[in-house]
Structure 1
Amino acid sequence: TAGRPARFRLHPPALKLSSPHRPPLSQAHHKTASVLSDLRSPPPTSLPRPPGAEGVAVQEEVVAVLKQAEEGKPVESVLLVDRQLRYLPEAFGRILGLRVLDVSHNQLQVIPDAIGGLEHLEELRLASNALVSLPDTVGFLSNLKILNVSTNKLRTLPDSISKCRSLVELDASYNGLTYLPTNIGYELINLRKLWVHMNKLRSFPSSICEMQSLYLLDAHFNELCGLPSAIGKLSSLEILNLSSNFSDMKELPFSFGDLLNLREVDLSNNQIHALPDSFGRLDKLEKLNLEQNPLSMPSAEVVKEGVEAVKEYMSKRWLDALLEEEQRSMAEAAAAESLQASTPKAWLARSVSWVSDVGGSFVGYVSGGQSKSEKDSILDQQF
């Protein structure tokens, strides 16, 4: 339809090379080289092509997308999924109206820096490729809402990813990440879902506690040693998976009990010995997995009875802890009051003595303790 943005999706080619509707292979190569050259893109030799009819179809589709964009026709969505692509031309960064780019399940090893030019891009799906890094220019994608880089070979995420402030979903699972950008939580305040499972994370940056919109956090199968002490600030968190961090995950911070909206928690396959007393505050909890932990509190018997039994047990401990704290505070207040009551006479006597000494010295000074000749000359001048 005229004026309607194009949406490209590749399908397996139905025609054989001998089909009269398809030019000979040499002509297809010539066409590809010509268009890519016009777009100032790398020569076709730097864009490896799978052999056979399907490879030619992929190449022609890429060229068609770029040509349409070059002619000023709107292109909002490009889906090149599972097409054995090994290279993404720099010219893709000039498809200015592009909102969705999905090149998942290919053989891409690098994403061009020009990707940062897609200022209207809202979805970028790069899952299941061979990427070892992302370009720093990804930080220019200020309208990006969904980023999927799962199942690659990433060891880090660029610090600039924190500038993608519109991000709602980030999937970086199944990589080799050892840490997350330091400021990721300070900037990604709109992030709702974060998947970082199946990595090698040892800790979370403290800034992650600032993700006030975070609804889901999945970090199972990492090497996490614990959680930031302020994790309780994630007031919107409802689903949390920290399972299978094995010998590294041994305890939860006291602020865990501040996650009042938690509905589902998986802590299985760790080395947690005790839940914090504050766990008893999690009234909305519906699903809880504590399997394969050396728990002593609550006991294994309580855990076997299910989530409601654990909630009841921990709630009682929490109330007992509050009562104990209140009694301690009252005892300390009473002791302080008693101490104050036992000291006023001595304090008053010392105060009276001090005032008397000072008063006597002052009276002596003004009444005769000094001769007129010894008076301050400045005072004489004033009088």
Structure 2
Amino acid sequence: MMYEQQQRFQQPMMDVKKTNTERTCKGIEEERLEIVDLSGMSLESLPNPSLNLATICKLDLSNNNLQNIPESLTARLLNMVVLDVHSNQLRYLPNSIGCLSKLKVLNVSGNLIEYLPKTIENCRSLEEVNANFNKLIQLPESIGLELLNLKKLSVNSNKLMFLPRSTSQLTALKVLDARLNCLRSLPEDLENLINLETLNVSQNFQYLECVPYSVGLLLSLVELDVSYNKIKALPDSIGCLKKLQKLCVEGNPLTSPPPDVVEQGLHAVKEYLCHKMNSGHRSPTKKKSWVGRLVKYGTFNGHTRTGPREEREAFILPDYRPIDGLASPRYMGMFSPRRLFSARNYFTN
């Protein structure tokens, strides 16, 4: 974002002579807008402004000692495009941040924030959010349903255990950085992130044990970093990522692909996973279809195909009873349409 001139206010009352008030922010035409820089001034509170807050398009309050931002001040920053408050002592953001309908860039990194206000969903022009190095426990649940213009979401070095399910609806997202958290899992339907180019969920250490199959459906993905987690198997679908140029998997107890394949590099890993998928093996992270296996092993008529012992015994009813013998009130519920076509697997090993 280009600005013609930047003005730094040195006086505590913001009473500095303006050198040029005819400034235009990108996307806002014919407005008299100001760039206000109060960074690195050891401020513990904000001075009373002497200018109309509606004329500010960029406000830099970074590298101070601010513990809060007044609700009344934020509510009047109606033309704000960039708000930078990184490296302060903020424990929360004002709810009135939802009034910033033109806000595109928000940097709150290096603070003490545990929650982002739900009202941030009203900042529908947001393209970049940097909340690194805070104490975030969770993100607003519906954040992905509202911030449809968001292109970069950085929440690394926090205490997040989960990402909201709605994260998978951020269709404009290009960069998702959630490393150094406490993530237990990732949303299942990530394939909706059609523009995602960089996904970093590394260094969740003992918490993250698997990667969803949908990661292999991120067709725009260029970089994937899942290093230093507890992942034992990569989904076979990763072998389909044609644009993938960088894959980091070190620091995991991987068995699929095996270490000797990983050592050969990205091409070998993709080839191994692709071959595994094409050979009929299913990724351990993808749900298996039990209906097909019932037919394969002839379970419905009480007979099995010949094959290895472990295969012959799979999905067979006790005592090899034909289905006719199960047509009693006791067993009829087993074969109701609701049970047969539900996600719950009645026949398990």
TM-score of the superposition, structure 1-length normalised?
0.68
- Counterpart amino acid of residue 236 in structure 2: D
| C-alpha separation in 1, matches of 2:269 and 2:131 | 33
User: Percent identity at matched positions?
Assistant: 39
- Which of 98, 101, 104 aligns to 2:62? It is 104
Determine the structure 1 residue equivalent to 2:230.
271
1:103-122 to 2 correspondence within 5 Å?
103-113=61-71, 114-122=73-81
1:158 aligns with 2:128: no
The DSSP-based 3-state class of the residue aligned with 1:217 is strand
The DSSP-based 3-state class of the residue aligned with 1:99 is strand
| C-alpha separation in 2, matches of 1:90 and 1:209 | 42
| C-alpha separation in 2, matches of 1:91 and 1:302 | 62
Determine the structure 2 residue equivalent to 1:180.
139
1:337-352 to 2 correspondence within 5 Å?
none
The DSSP-based 3-state class of the residue aligned with 2:153 is strand
The DSSP-based 3-state class of the residue aligned with 1:96 is helix
- Counterpart amino acid of residue 164 in structure 2: P
Contact kept, 8 Å, 2:162 with 2:183, in 1: the verdict is: yes
- Which of 15, 25, 35 aligns to 1:63? It is 15
Contact kept, 8 Å, 1:92 with 1:115, in 2: the verdict is: no
Determine the structure 1 residue equivalent to 2:6.
7
Determine the structure 2 residue equivalent to 1:147.
106
Q: Per-residue deviation at 1:126?
A: 0.4
Contact kept, 8 Å, 2:124 with 2:147, in 1: the verdict is: yes
Q: Per-residue deviation at 1:205?
A: 0.7
- Which of 10, 18, 42 aligns to 1:84? It is 42
1:1-383 to 2 correspondence within 5 Å?
7-9=6-8, 57-59=10-12, 62-64=14-16, 74-89=32-47, 91=49, 94-113=52-71, 114-321=73-280
Q: Are the structure 2 counterparts of residues 106 and 186 from structure 1 closer, same or farther at C-alpha, using a change threshold of 3 Å?
A: same
Q: Per-residue deviation at 1:321?
A: 3.0
Any stretches of 5+ residues in structure 1 without a counterpart? 11-56, 339-383
Q: Are the structure 2 counterparts of residues 314 and 90 from structure 1 closer, same or farther at C-alpha, using a change threshold of 3 Å?
A: farther
Contact kept, 8 Å, 1:8 with 1:65, in 2: the verdict is: no
The DSSP-based 3-state class of the residue aligned with 2:270 is helix
- Counterpart amino acid of residue 254 in structure 1: Y
* Runs of 4+ that moved beyond 6 A: 322-326, 328-331
Q: Which structure features the higher share of helix residues?
A: 1
The one-character-per-residue Cα deviations of 1:2-59 (angstroms, maximum 9, x if unpaired) are xx9973125xxxxxxxxxxxxxxxxxxxxxxxxxxxxxxxxxxxxxxxxxxxxxx442
Any stretches of 5+ residues in structure 2 without a counterpart? 22-30, 302-349
User: What is the aligned-residue RMSD (CA, Å)?
Assistant: 3.0
The DSSP-based 3-state class of the residue aligned with 1:288 is strand
| C-alpha separation in 1, matches of 2:48 and 2:251 | 49
Answer with 1 or 2: which has the greater Rg: 1
Determine the structure 1 residue equivalent to 2:336.
none
